[in-house]
Structure formats: C-alpha cells, structure tokens
Amino acid sequence: MVGWGAPVGMSSLPEVIAVFGPTASGKSTVAEAVADRLETEVVSADALQVYRGLPILTNQPEQPTRLVAIRSLADEMSLADYAKLAHAAIDELVESGGVAVVAGGTGLYLRAALVDMRVPPAPRKGARGRWETAYDADPAVAHARLERIDPAAAASVHVNDRRRVVRALELAEVGASIVPERELLWSTEMRRPTIVFGLVVPDETLESRIRLRTEQMFARGVVQEVRRAREERISRTAEQALGLADLVEYSQDEAYKRILVKTRRYAAYQRKWMRRIPGIVMIDADRPPTEVADAILEVARAR
RNA sequence: GGCGCCGUGGCCGAGUGGUUAGGCAGAGGCCUGCAAAGCCUCGUACAGCGGUUCGAGUCCGCUCGGCGCCU
C-alpha cells in the first residue's frame, strides 16, 4: 500500500487488512475467513450494525465481530465516536495478534478507522438546536452569517445543506472549521501499515444476491423484529436503517419492493466509495468466500 | 356491434390553446460528529395519422391499444 515496505524476501503481513465492497458482496463472510486464518478478529465499519435490536434488518454477521451490536437503538452514533472505538479495537488486535481485519459497509467509517482523521469537536450543548432554529428561520441569513465568520466553510457548504450549514456554524462559533486544514479523508496516510481490498462482483450476481438476501430477511422475520424494535425509542441515527420506516408504513409486498430499490441504490453508492479509496486492491469476489479470502491473503503476503 | 371513459419521458403523476410541473428510479458530483444520511447538477414526454388555429399534450376526425357498460 503506502508508507512502508516489507523486507525483501520475507513474507510479512500489513497490520491492518481492510475489506470493502457493496452490500451483499460477501464482505463479512470473506472477512471472517481471513480473520480465522490469521487467528484474529474482524472489526466492523458499519454505521448501523453498531446497533442492537435489528440483527436481521441490518444483516449483522453470525460470528462475533468487534463494534457490532454495541449500542442500543436509543443511542445516537457519530463518526467521532466510531473512530475512537475502531482505533482502540484495531490497536488491541494488532498488539495481541499482529493483525486486524476491518470490514466495512460504511465508506466514511472505514476511512475513519484506517486514517487518523482529526474529526472536529462536538457541538457545545444547545448549539445544534440553536443553529437549527436559526437556519429554519432563514437559510440564506444563516449562510450569510457563516460567510462572515468562516468564509472558507461558506464557500464549501451549499445553502440548502441544512446539516452542514448548521455544523459549520457550530464549529465556526468556537473557532474551529468544518473545512479540514489538511485533506485526510482521501489521504494515503494510514494510522498503521494497511492494505485495503475491494470486492468486485458483477452486476447480475450482485442483483441476485440482493434479491436473495432481501427475501431471506422476510423469511427470518424482519417484520416482527422491526415491530418489536419500534415499541421503544429509536435515535435519529438508528432511524435511518434502510427499510425501518418502510416496514411499518407499507404493506409487506410494497415494503419488499422499496427495500430492494433502496438496497440497490446503497450498493451503487458503496461502489462509488470503493472506486475512490486510494490504493485499494480490487479482488474478484464472484466465487466462494474462502477462495476470495485465500486470494486476499496471497496478495497481502506478497506486499 | 353500440355507447362511454382513458392512453403524458423507466414508473407514478399534474397540466384543457401560447414559458421547464413535480415525485420516484437512473446518471454524474460533493461530503470531515446524523454517511443505509444529507446536499448539488442532469430528462423537451405527451399512442399514431390527419385536420382546425398565428400557435395543440390541451379542440375536431379517424386508426390502434386499454377499461367499463349496453344489446
């Protein structure tokens, strides 16, 4: 990958092996196989699998995986929280076993796990609500205000982007900025020696896997799962789980269709991320997971 | 066979004489504490043919297709 080289003639592995790919590409199974062979564990980089209570809907892996089911549905999650936990998990695995396997579905989370992005501070108490109110009163005025106190931020955040205008204002107010001093999101400066693999699956294969998985979700009882989960408070972040709203607002048949459409869209989104990850090594994943895992280990060792 | 209704871009769906409806899907881009999210950009379609008109998706006729009702 970058920043380090293996001694010539020696077979050595990077400290972190990351696996990324679109939903239903077989990420978790492959990652588990890789981890098994290396006698280590998988650290999940998935914004929704962190929640407990929706194992079917969020397609949580069967094998115990780090950072899966660690939060209750009432909790909010954030990039900064995740990054801290991910770094700790990776460090622990590397220190004890020499290598950690990171498997991601959420592009941003995967990047945050691998790179040391300096995530700007959390909003001060009340700041978020205050700026949201201001924004709702008049977006143009809010944006103009941002322009005065943080021109760079104003230039990079569109007036219609409520979330970011609000976030930028919270930060500008305390002297920070939503605009990073250094581009780290796409940086090749990893925290540790790392190699990232991208699972490549043909369109038709992905489509049929998505269908199969969605059908299985229903067969396994997502409807009941969601109904039960809905009885309690669900945080704004957990609320975004794909299908969570559809399953209560629409008939089962209609919900199935919507989930299919959204899952496809999500897969396309992940593929875009995949293409942009610097230094990513594409691996043909249109074959049994164990073979994919072998291919990954082979490439990783050759580095 | 007769009568009536309908036929809009991949889908849904406004529009009844004179600027681009809109939504969803799709494509491209952005993204630094909500990322399975959010934001930006991108579509000249009106079943076909003919007619009326300065001008028709919008009016008239015929044809085709669909639905309904009646003999």
Q: Are A102 and A19 in contact (CB under 8 A)?
A: yes
Considering only CA atoms, which residue is closest to the C1' of nucleotide B36? A242
| ipTM of the predicted assembly exceeds 0.85 | yes
Instruction: List the A257 CA – B49 C1' distance (angstroms).
Output: 40
Residue ranges in chain A assigned as alpha helix (H): 27-38, 79-97, 107-114, 127-137, 139-149, 151-156, 162-173, 203-219, 222-230, 246-249, 252-276, 289-302
Q: What is the pLDDT of residues A79-120, one digit of tens each?
A: 999 999 999 999 999 999 999 999 988 999 999 999 999 999
Angle of helix A79-97 relative to helix A107-114, nearest 10 degrees, comes to 50
Q: What is the pLDDT of residues A233-284, one digit of tens each?
A: 999 999 999 999 999 988 898 899 999 999 999 999 999 999 999 999 999 9
Nearest residue to A68 via CA among A53, A49, A92 = A49
Considering only CA atoms, which residue is closest to the C1' of nucleotide B37? A240
Nucleotides on chain B that have an atom closer than 7 A to a protein CB are: 24-40
